[in-house]
Structure 1
Amino acid sequence: GILSDIATLVSESDCNILDSRHAIYGQEFSLTMIIEGTHNAITRIELSIPEMCQRRDLLSILKRTREHTKQNLTHLYDVEFNGVDNPGQIQAITRFFADQQVSISAFRQTTSVDDETGHKMMRFKLVVNIPDDVAMPEFRYNLNLLCQVLHLTSNIIDKHKG
């Protein structure tokens, strides 16, 4: 598949994949990766990936970056919100996390219509990395206050505890 072809190109170019994320959105494949190598090796991969993508009818965007700093993902949490879908909820929730210096690494929202009430319902799930210096009891309390204002329920699950 596509990942195997890209991994082969990276290896043949004398580079290493430091980090990557991929997803399928509908019928579309998305891949983000951080590759390391010498200047010449990076140049080789910059030339070979677009060629391979063109053969597979894919769009490629390449960008040189500075040295990669590995993320500390020791405090990963799933955070789920449920309730009637109203404008501004996602904005308020993502602003809350940004204000707390909590990084969002995944984001998914689904909507449906409640058969009984006819209301448009929303389910919104995040994967977040909460820094060491965030006091969890206070964080949970403030998140619950926000959810009350937004008329949502929430659940926080530590991914390392299950």
Structure 2
Amino acid sequence: MLYGGFFYGFLIIIHRGTGRIRLALSSQHYLVITALGADRSGIVNTITRHVSSCGCNIEDSRLAMLGDEFTFIMLLSGSWNAITLIESTLPLKGAELDLLIVMKRTTARPRPAMPATVWVQVEVEDSPHLIERFTALLDAHNLNIAELVSRTQPADNGNNAQLYIQMTAHSPALDNATIIEQAFKALCTELNAQGSINVVNYQQQDEQDGVS
């Protein structure tokens, strides 16, 4: 902590010498945090309260239950002091809560335009490698997978286990949606799966509406 405080002060002196102190003080810093541990009441609120007490803002987050474990992923923003504070204190808080904490500094970058969006839903009898088949299909058509959710319904009453898949993918250009739609339907037929695909090309819609 003493070293961190000294380093921050040194940065201020350097920026004063170049006349850019305002930029240094107002710039935002970003940190990705993953917390993994046994689920129990109040655990998420405890984490978010600690984030707020350090002066950080939650820009984005994801929460998922996997078996008896939960995983909580957050993108935090804040001043240099705020991010440094949570970097130094969250591991101790994680130890108190019996959580595995992973942290990594990152930067805020403008996302490239992705005018084409594809939504996929699949229900199929569970077997190995099924998710890989559908992710490979999207990848083969240059689609960037932005979200993937899957769950397995255990076998019961003589019914086989069922796998449910939901995916969202984006592409900077998708000139012919029919190609991916036909390939998806062919894969569903091969795997004896029930599936639906919805493709929206915002660029084409804008052109049809007369928006340049």
TM-score by length of 1: 0.76
Which of 128, 137, 140 aligns to 1:96? It is 137
In the TM superposition, what is the alpha-carbon distance from 1:132 to its structure 2 partner? 5.7
Maintained 8 Å contact 1:50/1:60: yes
Q: Who is 1:123 aligned against?
A: 163
In the TM superposition, what is the alpha-carbon distance from 1:11 to its structure 2 partner? 2.1
- Give 1 or 2: higher helix fraction: 2
Maintained 8 Å contact 2:131/2:165: no
Maintained 8 Å contact 1:82/1:121: no
Q: Who is 1:9 aligned against?
A: 50
* Letter of the structure 1 residue corresponding to residue 173 of structure 2: D
CA distance in 1, matches of 2:123, 2:69: 27
* Letter of the structure 1 residue corresponding to residue 179 of structure 2: E
Q: Who is 1:105 aligned against?
A: 147
Q: Who is 2:8 aligned against?
A: none
Quick one: higher RCO (CA 8 Å, sep 6+), 1 or 2?
A: 1
- What are structure 2's unaligned runs of at least 5 residues? 1-41, 200-212
RMSD of the alignment, in Å?
Answer: 2.9
Relative to structure 2, which stretch is displaced further, 65-74 or 124-133? 65-74
Q: Who is 2:181 aligned against?
A: 140
Q: Any runs of at least 4 consecutive aligned residues in structure 1 with deviations exceeding 6 A, and if so which?
A: 71-74
In the TM superposition, what is the alpha-carbon distance from 1:31 to its structure 2 partner? 0.5
Asked whether 1:61 is paired with 2:102, we answer yes
Q: Who is 2:60 aligned against?
A: 19
Cα pair distance change 1:25/1:84, threshold 3 Å = closer
* Letter of the structure 1 residue corresponding to residue 90 of structure 2: I
CA distance in 2, matches of 1:84, 1:7: 38
Which of 33, 37, 45 aligns to 2:78? It is 37
Identity, % of aligned positions: 26
In the TM superposition, what is the alpha-carbon distance from 1:35 to its structure 2 partner? 0.7
Please give the secondary structure, in 1, of the residue aligned with 2:93: helix
Larger Rg: 2
In the TM superposition, what is the alpha-carbon distance from 1:18 to its structure 2 partner? 0.8
Give per-residue Cα distances to partners, 1:46-68, cap 9 Å, x unaligned: 12221222111111111112225
Please give the secondary structure, in 2, of the residue aligned with 1:60: strand
